[in-house]
Structure 1
Amino acid sequence: MKIMKNIMKKTIITAFVALLVFSCTDDFEALNTDPNGLTDEQSQADFTNVGGPFKPIFLNLYRYDPAWHTQLQHNLNADTFCGYMAPPNPFANGANTTNYAFIGFWDQFPWDIPYSSTGVMKNAGLIKIRGEERFPLMYAVAKVLRVLGMHRVTDVYGPIVYSKYGLNPTFSEYDRQEDVYNQFFVELEEAITTLSTDPSNTQFANFDLVYGGNLGQWIKFANTLRLRLAIRISKVAPAKAKIEAEKSLAHPGGLLESNADNFLIQGGATHPLTTFNSSWNDVRMNASMESILVGYNDARGPVLFEESNVTPGQLKGLRGGMPLLPGYSAALDQKEDYVEFSRLGDSYIADRTPTTSIQLMNAAEAYFLKAEAALRGWTGAGDAQANYEMGINTSFAQHEVSGDAPAYISDNTSTAIDYVDPVNSSNNINAVSNITVSWDAGATNEEKLEKIITQKWIAIFPDGQEAWSEYRRTSYPKIFPVVVNNSGGTIDTDLQVRRLPFPNSEISTNPQGVAQARTLLGGADNGGTRLWWDVPGGNF
């Protein structure tokens, strides 16, 4: 349990970390500094001066190393909030972000990493300076990556520093989330248009950690990303959402179609989840995952997770938001019992050839996006049922269990199961959904959407950030609430957490900017305030 063993050390080095992390107001000189130490003359021939900054962007969209940074960037917030995973260990004496007792040092990492010297904003800025005029195709890819990276940041905090990044020498000015999303759509449109002028160009090949320089694949990805963001704003800005979605659906470059199109960052290092899962024993299956996967007899379950040592032959998750302290209605060895619950599957176990790929989008998601677009009546989306079933088939194929897909798709009886905690029965809870897998043409659009989002939630695992965003937008899939809510009343247990507060690193280095950001938030700077696109009520 690396974090707990080193908490004092990490606290001491917080100041050092702050020196490594560029605040937004410190980037003026950095944006014009070549991190490779090469002169323009030395590097121009092989595009290194433009291509070099791509690698740190790729490796920090979801940080590869050190693993504890990633644990704080994603795992001890979004991965738990969305119902994928849960920690079996009592971090911070049992009161921590996973049960809404926010820890400032933890909660700044989703912000600090994208704005750091190795993050997306600084390095996309370098590419703009060096390549916007001479290498427009490479700069177009950088714009797509900037949107990919920063939509994850705004979907955590709300207002962010974006359009005015690096412009004000006094403080870093924030944009409203609505304005950020509008800028995303402009940048994706520009990038797709530029890439479409010469999709066979190979100048990006030496720097591309996803598609090997295939710009046609980047067009597919950018179109699918635009559709994702259009769907995200469909409740709050339905007219704008329809326009942007239909652009993606009509574009001749297409969307992600097969698992060969999946957006997988080939970073060449072990996935950080392997470290949390195997070496530190800091992450296990969430009870919501067990309820849904086991309830549906889902063949992907034994691929995504291991059998539990507590319940041999079965998958067993644990409730999110437990304090896990001695005296919490359990014996002193409770922690050891929960460590024996289901680990993540073979791809994240150290002695079983763990994956080195970070998945931030797959083709299955594209089909579920199209299924929802069809429900909303958007032109070019196709048939909702056909897309829904294709999404399931594509996901089963990704996990090499295609033979089980037909029976799964036609199952109109299996539902999520009640959760039983074999260590502490006070954590038991009844299932919160009764939907089945099979499509029901006579169901309401709301019922159909619950099916779509539930299957998308399974298919995009382990990207907890995207899963948490979709849960907040739709309230699907229905997942279990935290066992203990330590928010002091700022977060409704049933509604669950909606955002992270603005980070301590920004409050200390950019207090004027944070004060301005709080006026744009539309509520208090706490975990209970909804983001702009997070509109209460039904989805139709």
Structure 2
Amino acid sequence: MKKLIINISFFLVAVTTIVGCKKDVASKYNNPEKAENASLSGLFTAMLNNDRVAAKYWNVRTFLCQMPGVYAQTSYFPNSNSVYQQSDSYSQNYWDDFYTTGGNGSGSMALYRAMEAKFKTLSTSDQTAQATIMQAAKVVLIEQAAKMVDLWGDIPYSEAGSLETGSTIKNPKYDDQKVLYTGFIADLATASAYFKANATNKDFAKADILLKGDVGQWARYANSLRLRLLMRISKVDEATARTAVLDMLNNSATYPLVDGGNNPSYSPGTSDILLQPLTNSTSDLHAAFLEGSWYATDYMLNTVMLTANDPRIPVMYDKYGRTQKINGQDVFVPNKTYKAMPITFSATDQETNFPDYSVLDSATFLFNQKLPGIIITASEVNLLKAEAYERWGSSASAQTSYETALRQSVSFYYYLNNLNQGGGYVNLPAPKDSVVNVWINSSTASYTGSSANKLTNIYIQKWAHLGVLQSMEAWAEYRRTGFPILTFPSDGKLSGFDTPPTRLIYPSTEKTLNSANYQAVQAKDTRKTKIFWQQ
């Protein structure tokens, strides 16, 4: 069915660095990190070519699987005494990669500020011609900035990048997180309207390595991101969210979404917002996962999926097994069933028993050089729609969106599996409709019971769909909704770090270099302070 890695120690100590491939981008466009007069299109391409979005080693290994994935239990973690303690150096890396270029991200803020400065120098006619690129860049910036807010709360934003825009160095203030979200939501509405009213152009199409200049897709992207942010604030500002979301859902022609056309058997590669690997990329995520995060997570597999006979299991997990001596030969004997190690296992239990439990699928996740960076998918959008309908509209409409989302999630994960062609991997065909129907209609995933039960299923299935590759979104949704109800072992943990945080602490270098502005947010800088959208 798939390749397995045999005789791998539970904890690998070697760290393998995989460098993102950007050579072909630099050869086509001015490199914004080196060129004295970088083009607007070159800056935009560099902004899109973000290793914090792409499926790359450093982001998955040092950030997703170290912090958000642990706190949301979408990533497996060794049960050490410091497992819930934030890594200051790795969170500093992530912070820096948003604000500056030259790291493991694109430096979204720095590049956008450079684009603003460049745009101001253009003639009126050239500004009109380049407005599409600026609108798209704003959407990209907002998507990344919203993640920063979800992680830290108040962040420098309006005054960040002053050297690019004003030729002066100014330590930026921390903008209020709620005010930022309000601005993001408004700016996304503006961007969507722009894309609906304007055609693409060749410069934009050439620079756009994400959506190939498809303004219709950019409108869907902007609207879907806006829907995500509106639902995120909906527990604390329900009136605002309800009005805006229902307006979107009741006017689908004005507000098209990344919903796969509500087709269960949709095409993720053309419908979803995915950052495909560059054509010369040969990297994969095997080192990122094999260094400690390879194993199936307890609640995800044992409680959510196995009890429902979830059809996604074969492309998300492998049964794994042990190497045994048979007739004098080393023979790998697979486990008979899928199962995850209990979350209550001690580090010793984990080290001793790991071969008897399931691992992430090697074809889908570990050795898949075609694995895209996932920004937003049809399944997530339809689950957001389902929540909105169940809370504020028709439960029947909610059920339709929910069941469509589950079918689309199956399509999505089999799509990821089938991207990995060759190399000895046997790609799995999508399950028959009858199998999926049983899961949706006659299992614990079925849309039945009270409205509260239905919402619980929506929240859990969204968390499951987001999974390890979208651990930041999964952690945000877990904090917002409170579901699933997870157990976090606390025995033997470091004092003050016996449970996961509700936000990240500001990185130490930021507190030192921007100390005057940090004073304004210092009182809120605790690991148990809630992000504003959390009840």
TM-score between the two structures when normalised by the length of structure 1: 0.77
Partner SS for 2:174:
coil
Letter in 2 for 1:35: E
| Pair 1:485–1:110, CA change in 2 (3 A) | farther
Structure 1 residue 161 corresponds to structure 2 residue 178:
no
Q: What's the counterpart of residue 528 of structure 1?
A: 528
Q: What does the per-residue CA deviation read over 1:87-108, in whole Å, with 9 as the maximum and x for residues that have no partner?
A: 34x7xxx343xx2233322332
Deviation at 1:479, TM superposition (A): 2.4
Q: Tell me by how many angstroms 1:518 deviates.
A: 2.6
- Report if aligned partners of 1:206, 1:213 keep a CA contact under 8 Å in 2: yes
TM superposition shift of 1:378:
5.5
CA RMSD of aligned residues (A): 3.1
Query: Are 2:411 and 1:383 aligned?
Result: no
1:316 paired residue number: 339
Q: Is the 8 A contact 2:365 2:371 kept in 1?
A: no
Aligned 8 A contact 1:85 1:320 in 2: no
Q: How does 1:109-128 map to 2 (within 5 A)?
A: 109-117=93-101, 118-128=106-116
User: Structure 1, unaligned stretches of length 5 or more?
Assistant: 11-32, 41-47, 413-435, 536-540
Q: What letter matches 2:299 in structure 1?
A: S
How far apart, CA to CA, are the structure 1 residues paired with 2:402 and 2:48?
Answer: 32
- Counterpart contact for 2:41–2:207, Cα < 8 Å: no
| Residue of structure 2 equivalent to 1:266 | 276
Mapped pair 1:365 → 2:349: no
| Alpha-carbon offset, residue 281 of structure 1 | 5.0
Please name the residue that 2:513 is paired with: 509
Counterpart in the other structure of 1:24? none
Measured after TM superposition, the shift of residue 478 of structure 1 is 2.3
Does residue 1:304 correspond to 2:312, yes or no?
no
1:120/1:203 Cα in 2 relative to 1: closer, same or farther (>3 Å)? same
- In the alignment, structure 1 residue 254 sits paired with structure 2 residue 236: no
* Equivalence for 1:198: 198
Query: Deviations along 1:70-96, whole A, 9 cap, x unmatched?
Result: 4223221111221222134x7xxx343
Secondary structure in structure 2 of the residue aligned to 1:206 = helix
Aligned residue identity for 2:188: L
Shift of 1:481: 1.8
Alpha carbons of structure 1 residues 377 and 162: separation in structure 2 relative to 1, 3 Å: same
CA 286–206 in structure 1, closer or farther in 2 if over 3 Å, else same: same
Partner SS, residue 465 of structure 1? helix
Paired position in structure 1 for 2:72 = 82
Change (3 A) 1:159 1:224: same
1:336 Cα offset (Å): 6.0
Deviations 1:219-275 (A, max 9, x none): 111111100100000011112212332343325241012233111101333565332
- The one-letter amino acid of 2:385's match is K
Residue aligning to 1:129: 117
Separation in 2 of the partners of 1:149 and 1:38? Answer: 26
CA distance in 1, matches of 2:293, 2:518: 32
Aligned residue identity for 2:509: S
Secondary structure at 1:383 match in 2: helix
Aligned with 1:347 (options 350, 364, 386) = 364
Distance 1:321 1:236, change over 3 A: farther
Shifted more, 216-225 versus 354-363: the winner is 354-363
Confirm or deny: 8 A CA contact 1:224 1:248 kept in the other structure. Answer: no
Matches of 2:141 and 2:283 in 1, distance apart? 22
Match of 1:401 among 428, 431, 448: 431
Amino acid at match of 2:136: V
For 1:37, which of 35, 38, 46 is the aligned residue? 35
Pairing 1:467-482 to 2, within 5 Å after superposition: 467-482=474-489
Distance 1:464 1:244 in 2: 27
1:370-393 residue CA offsets vs partner (Å, 9 max, x unmatched):
1111122169x9811111111111
Q: Does 1:437 align with 2:445?
A: yes
Residue pairs, 1:44-193, within 5 angstroms: 48-62=39-53, 67-88=57-78, 94-96=80-82, 99-117=83-101, 118-131=106-119, 133-134=127-128, 135-167=130-162, 169-193=169-193
- 1:114/1:319 CA distance change after superposition, 3 Å: farther
Q: What is the deviation of 1:155?
A: 0.5
Q: Classify the secondary structure of the residue corresponding to 2:73.
A: coil
CA contact (8 A) 2:41 2:203 kept: no
Q: CA deviation at 1:339?
A: 6.5
The partner residue of 1:286 within 265, 289, 297 is 297
The TM-score, its normalising length taken from structure 2, stands at 0.77
3-state SS of paired residue (1:204): helix
The secondary structure found in structure 1 opposite 2:446 is: coil
Among 307, 311, 315, the residue aligned to 1:295: 307
Give the letter for the 2:354 counterpart. Answer: Y
Identify the residue that residue 456 of structure 1 maps to in structure 2.
462
Matched-pair identity in %? 23
1:35-88 Cα shifts (integer Å, max 9, x gaps): 352647xxxxxxx433334334432342555x2344223221111221222134
SS of the residue 2:501 aligns to: coil
Greater Cα offset, 499-508 or 48-57? 48-57
Distance in 1 of aligned mates of 2:10 and 2:43 = 32
